Amino acid sequence: MSETLLDVKGLSCPLPVLKANRALRDMQAGERLRVIATDRASVADFQAFCRETGHALIAFGEEAGVLSFVIRRRPDAS
């Protein structure tokens, strides 16, 4: 399955989550969005965002200070 890449490196809270939310709105149910960020607050922000919206945070990682989140759009999103 392909995924859409959203690079929000250098942006601070709340912009990474806001941009991810906008991108997810344009995606089909079940599609994946990979978000690349550098703001440490993004870890808690994306966890809370997914919990509140029903999207699934299916992967998280960090390499050399760059955070990577993979979010699967919820099936019933409109």
Active site residue 13: yes
In a domain? residue 77: no
In a domain? residue 41: yes
Please identify which of the residues 4, 11, 13, 14 carries the catalytic annotation: 13
In a domain? residue 39: yes
In a domain? residue 78: no
pLDDT digits (tens, 9 = 90+) for 37-51: 999 999 999 999 999
Residue 23: which CATH number?
3.30.110.40
Domain residues for 27? 3-72
Q: Which residues contact 36 (CB under 8 A, 6 or more apart)?
A: 5, 6, 7, 8, 9, 66, 67, 68
pLDDT digits (tens, 9 = 90+) for 52-65: 999 999 999 999 99
Overall pTM > 0.85: yes
In a domain? residue 8: yes
Instruction: Note whether 66 and 47 are within 8 A (CB).
Output: no
Domain count, the chain: 1
